[in-house]
A and B are shown apart, each in its own frame.
Chain A
Amino acid sequence: GAGVSQSPSNKVTEKGKDVELRCDPISGHTALYWYRQSLGQGLEFLIYFQGNSAPDKSGLPSDRFSAERTGGSVSTLTIQRTQQEDSAVYLCASSLASARSYNEQFFGPGTRLTVL
């Protein structure tokens, strides 16, 4: 079946603009994660969804970052008033279950965000 998909694959924006990044998880996966991969910080966790709720938002770097998930499926990560330090690859992952046991997280190809 289809894997995790993300769009757009590349996004170039100007400093101060808002951007929306989209993630389509694998069908039936209830858990969804956002990560960020940047040169300075490596791969870091941003936020976790179980269904439509986000019990762990601890990785969001500032209040300019927000995310939502609707219908237990698609998720959108929004960055407001983008800054150059937001430039990174944003990765989405999904898995079958919640925190009770580990289930493999399947990663999407990522969205490369460049803030000029």
Chain B
Amino acid sequence: GDSVTQMEGPVTLSEEAFLTINCTYTATGYPSLFWYVQYPGEGLQLLLKATKADDKGSNKGFEATYRKETTSFHLEKGSVQVSDSAVYFCALSDRSSASKIIFGSGTRLSIRP
């Protein structure tokens, strides 16, 4: 079945550092890909998405590019802030399976001032 594998955490960085969180997927169809974020004490929210190969999703300085050839959707940000501390989930959704979301295990990110 479809699955998502993402970088194990926790990840701790200093403010203004460059961030990469790796994510790869396995899917039989043509899924849409997402990054969700869960800030401390808050609910899960969509950070960015890409619906087809070579699409780039971006939001709040974060970017991820849908790479079909490497089945990857790595999350990047050029300069992280303390406020980016959260748990990040890579995920996919396949229209052939009722658009349910399949999540990776999550990566906890902590940013030091």
Take A42-B106, A105-B101 as given contacts and tell me if A100 and B43 are in contact as well, using a CB distance cutoff of 8 Å: no
Residues of B within 8 A of A62 (CB): none
The reply to whether B43 and A107 contact each other, CB–CB distance below 8 Å, is yes
Residues of A within 8 A of B51 (CB): 102
Q: A73-116 toward B: CB 8 Å interface, digit per residue (1/0)?
A: 00000000000000000010101001111111101111000000
The reply to whether B100 and A45 contact each other, CB–CB distance below 8 Å, is yes
The reply to whether B98 and A56 contact each other, CB–CB distance below 8 Å, is yes
B105 in contact (CB, < 8 A): yes
Q: Closest CB of chain B to A64's CB: distance in Å? A: 21
The reply to whether A102 and B104 contact each other, CB–CB distance below 8 Å, is no
Q: Closest CB of chain B to A71's CB: distance in Å? A: 21
Residues of B within 8 A of A56 (CB): 97-98, 100
Residues of B within 8 A of A102 (CB): 32, 49, 51, 93, 95, 99
Interface centre among A45, A98, A105, A108 (most CB of B within 10 A): A105
Take A100-B95, A101-B95 as given contacts and tell me if A45 and B102 are in contact as well, using a CB distance cutoff of 8 Å: yes
Complexed CA–CA distance, A35 and B103 (Å): 10
A1 in contact (CB, < 8 A): no
The reply to whether B99 and A110 contact each other, CB–CB distance below 8 Å, is no
Number of interface residues of B (CB under 8 A): 22
Looking at chain A's contact residues, is the secondary structure mostly helix, strand, loop, or mixed? strand
Residues of B within 8 A of A59 (CB): 100
Complexed CA–CA distance, A98 and B89 (Å): 23
Complexed CA–CA distance, A45 and B99 (Å): 11
Interface centre among A42, A98, A110 (most CB of B within 10 A): A42
Residues of A within 8 A of B95 (CB): 99-102
Take A42-B105, A102-B32, A102-B93 as given contacts and tell me if A107 and B99 are in contact as well, using a CB distance cutoff of 8 Å: no
A14 in contact (CB, < 8 A): no
